Structure 1
């Protein structure tokens, strides 16, 4: 006759103990994406400093260690939304691509000259926008911190970006210091989409701005390394952004 009362007392005691026990710690709240972007901009010199130059010329080296390839790299970018890249590899030639504000193009020894279209063109247009480089909200439909993780050996907050075109990419901002230490993008090409994981390191000062001087990229099982040796501001002539003659010949009406 006493089993039930004893059972009830045991359950009551268990419930009381549970009520007195400390609640499990709540999951750590992730910093908002905009807060991480602002922290990054502060760490590199500020939004205004990042947008101050009318144009920029970056020079350095390019290598694919597994293939034994090395070359010289030059990237020019200019307002409002222009960019051109040239990689010169001895024995292979020049690999060039760009966006002049209207036309996206590519020129290399393997595939020749071609105009970009579809997702390739849209990606080139978005990446040429200076506001996208400072992660201005106007360039995206959403920005969200999704997790704390580790990339390149550094703890970082991973931010998911949804661009106006609908494509997604990810930035990773260091927990310690706030610098961008990695990014994950989808590279469009005639052969399809390829995920590119980039590790950014060795930040240095150029004209009052801190920029990464080493970019290690992993794509389709291959690694390529870009090392920046110089960055110059407002030294590029506007004519330098014009597509080469091979590209001009492909434009409608020519």
Structure 2
């Protein structure tokens, strides 16, 4: 990337500040202590779809149920231990790395708007998506998991 293009990109903090404003502000989100959402789960590579529901509670608890008709997955995290009930009805504890990742990634309130939760973050590019300008970010969690947003 050229120095000229880099100079035109905002900082990660500026991107997060703009996003925070667009979704109602950090103060409003800081009051949120949990929530629930429902939707459709599409597993396109397997040609399956069904419903899901997820419930979260502060500081980092979660339960998600995915019902695909012929199979149902029920999993959760109590803040320390992650578990899953697989389609055959057998409950098992999640592997330690999955528990650690869930513990790090579940945020309540305005936590998802805090850039300091990442070990590393950068703004890589400015793109158009469905006619809207967006910024592509690369982030690395404190556990070392890298992804682009």
Q: Structure 2-normalised TM-score?
A: 0.82
2:96 equivalent to 1:118:
yes
Whole-Å Cα distance in 2 between the matches of residues 98 and 152 of structure 1? 34
| Post-superposition offset of 1:165 | 1.3
Between Structure 1 and Structure 2, whose CA radius of gyration is higher?
1
Of 115, 119, 124, which aligns to 1:146? 124
Residues 16 and 115 in structure 2, CA contact (< 8 A), matched pair in contact too? no
1:85-96 equivalences under 5 Å are: 85-92=64-71, 94-96=72-74
Residue 34 of structure 1: aligned partner: 13
- 2:57 pairs with 1:78: yes
Select the structure that is richer in strand.
1
What 5-or-longer segments of structure 2 have no aligned partner? Answer: none
2:70 is the counterpart of 1:60: no
Provide the secondary structure at the position in 2 that maps to 1:38: helix
Structure 1's unaligned 5+ residue stretches are 1-24, 172-254
Deviation string, structure 1 residues 180-204 (Cα, Å, up to 9, x no partner): xxxxxxxxxxxxxxxxxxxxxxxxx
Contact 2:41 2:49 in 1 (8 A): yes
For the aligned residue pairs, the C-alpha RMSD in angstroms reads 2.5
Task: Note closer, same or farther for the CA distance 1:65–1:162 as it changes in structure 2 (3 Å cut).
Answer: closer
Corresponding residue of 1:252: none
How far 1:164 moved relative to its partner? 1.6
The match for 1:167 among 124, 134, 145 is: 145
Asked if 1:46 is matched to 2:25, the reply is yes
Secondary structure at 1:53 match in 2: coil
The Cα of 1:139 is off from its aligned counterpart by 1.5
Deviation at 1:56, TM superposition (A): 0.5
Query: How many residues are paired up?
Result: 145
Q: What is the CA-CA distance between 1:132 and the residue it aligns to?
A: 4.3
Post-superposition Cα deviations, 1:63-103, rounded to whole Å, max 9, x if no partner, equal 234544222211001101111110112122x2122211110
Q: CA deviation at 1:54?
A: 1.9
Alpha carbons of structure 1 residues 167 and 67: separation in structure 2 relative to 1, 3 Å: closer
Residues 144, 159 of structure 1: 8 Å contact kept: yes
Q: Give CA-to-partner distance per residue, 1:142-187, whole Å, 9 cap, x none.
A: 222122245567542111222221222222xxxxxxxxxxxxxxxx
